[in-house]
Structure 1
Amino acid sequence: MKIVIAPDSFKGSLSAMEAAEAIDRGIKKAIPETETVLLPIADGGEGTLETLVAATGGSKKKTAVTAPLGNSVLSEYGILGDNKTCVIEMASASGLGLVPNEELNPLVTTTFGTGELIKQALDDGFTSFILAIGGSATNDGGAGMLQALGIRLLDEKENEVGFGGGELNKITSIDVSGFDERIKHSTFLIASDVQNPLIGLEGASHVFAPQKGATKEMVKRLDNSMMNWADEVEKVTGVHLHDKPGAGAAGGIGGAFQAFFPSKMKRGIDVVIEFTGLYESLSKANLVITGEGQVDFQTASGKTPMGVAQAANTLNIPTIVMAGSVGTGIEVLYQFGVVSVNSIINQPMSLNEAMEYAPQLLERSTEQVIRSYFHNRVYNKQGGLVL
């Protein structure tokens, strides 16, 4: 019997690989002779770089860049096993995790560091890029990234504006004469599930800025500034980002890629599935086990358990989902080959306790799920499982 183990991370407690290893231990306790394939997965957000590098036998390079608040931070980019493709995880340069909660402020946070990562990779000779743009702390429309790559954003006095979404309303012209020429000779695959436009009630500022520290008043200011940004970008590029699907991704950096880069956007989980070779691993599998920290109605929008289940379902392979916690709206998952969604919590406990004991909880709950799932199977005289 073959089981493919393809979880995402359980944020704050287990990396994707640690989760896969815990699930594997649980399976082996229930049915020791099971063949297992461990394939950690991510959905285009945090952990994507690590997953792709590990899956392809690649490497990483560290470099100092500008953090969202303008200070320096040691970041990194990944190099896939082909030694040709660079993976950049926006969160490592411009992410929420780099800003203390009390200092979150999308009026001032910048994507400059993400641009510096791209520039460093270009300097190192890369022309093929995968950008995972989840988890940003910014709402600057990608302006900071463009500044790092040579574009000048000028006010009415022809002075360059500062960092952050609050500066976008000051821009009266965009000087692209210094834009890094290497960009147009490169390719950029943007891993993002977001289809939101740049501005309006469904745009970057209204939908995502509150998660990054914006008050209601700040949201209005940011959206107005983003309108000016979209107008100025259209004057230079001819691209109308205002209501363009995906332009609002990651505080509007999706729009910057659409307007200034030779790029295409693809669902994050699909990018990871392609580069990790999930379909090849599913060959002759009898079951798939996936999971992540929280499974709820948002999971169906392209999170790891949904993407893995969809892939397995095309081959008529059932999927079991393990979760730190289970919320509402999971019923849609059952339409895509998911046979059960299981919380690893086995008794009343605090969140801190659940995170501390996550490896043991995941291992134990997986063992019980496997025993239940195969309860009607029988063993032959040699102790082997007969399917």
Structure 2
Amino acid sequence: MINPTSLFNALAGTRKGPARLKVKNVKRILLIILVVSIGSKLFGQFAPAAGENGSTAIHKDDALFTGWAKTCKVQRGYINVSDTTVVFTQNNFTSNKAFFGTEAMATGKPGGALDCISLGDGGTAILTFDFPLRNGAGADFAVFENGMKMQESPFQYFLELAFVEVSTDGKRFVRFPAVSNTPASEQMASFGQIKPEHIHNFAGKYVANYGTPFDLEDIKDSTGINTDSINFVRLVDVVGNINPDYARYDSKGQVINDPFPTEFWSGGFDLDAVGVIHFNKLTCISSQEIQKEFKVWPNPVRHNDQLNITGNIFKSTKIELCTLTGKRLKTWVSDADSQTKVNLPELKPGLYLLLIHSEESAETIKLLVE
């Protein structure tokens, strides 16, 4: 920490007796003090730990959550990516990759610090949900890890981090712009400590039972995804090694430093759960509800043919034709009650979605074009 008085004297110059300052020197001093002050604040500019004023952490029991991940598919990483000969043995099983936990442990509501699955260095997890996620007001989902506050100096946090990515079609993933201001001049040890204020948009920012929120608004301008129809969330362990051969970088090109190596069966990011705040239930396909509310025929249909729609239809009913990725191709508004007809545009053979919004109902129907 720079002492402002020492800085002042050094720049202004001192003589025996009272210091004689020039206006130019005073301006220089004030400018440098201002820059130092702003720089130190920016370095720790992000939300603090769970329970502190200004924290964005969301407890697992918060009423904001409307659902949880339904499936999880994990690809494990090594327990030491810089030396893949390193192995760990537990319960008579030996591996050079992480092997703690099961995929089922990452589905549903968080179950505690040991109810998780470890990804290993650079490991990945892809999760799916009952309904697509959408871009609502504020955070749209949150990721839970099993970080903890350390009971030794400097009394910060043991956190293992992961990038967060989302996709509409399961092929094109977009990563949230994450920032790590944790110093990377020296490798953080296996049980090193991180200040939550130094990291942003990384899963694992908060301790167990508190989710790190993610807002789809941050990536609304990305290509290849529909932020109102997110079907997949992917987590990618950041590794944490500052060696250029293995380092990972944040959205600003800075090396990410987190605990390394973690040569245990539980090495790497430990995924506990993904909680959903904003579902897009309009894109849910439920055959029972469709038969009860609307009927569409013919289906399959030929391109350029006419579709008949009956059911809970009103003159204000909105009908939208979309691709499976959520791109809207055509919109109609019904001009009759109980039944309406629409003329399809020129379409390539394949599967499409027909979104029907009436005053009382909203459904999505799969439409096969031959």
Fold shared, TM-score > 0.5 on shorter chain: no
Give me the TM-score of the superposition, normalised by structure 2: 0.22
Give me the TM-score of the superposition, normalised by structure 1: 0.21
Which structure's residues are more often helix, by fraction?
Answer: 1
Which structure's residues are more often strand, by fraction?
Answer: 2
Higher Cα Rg, which structure: 2
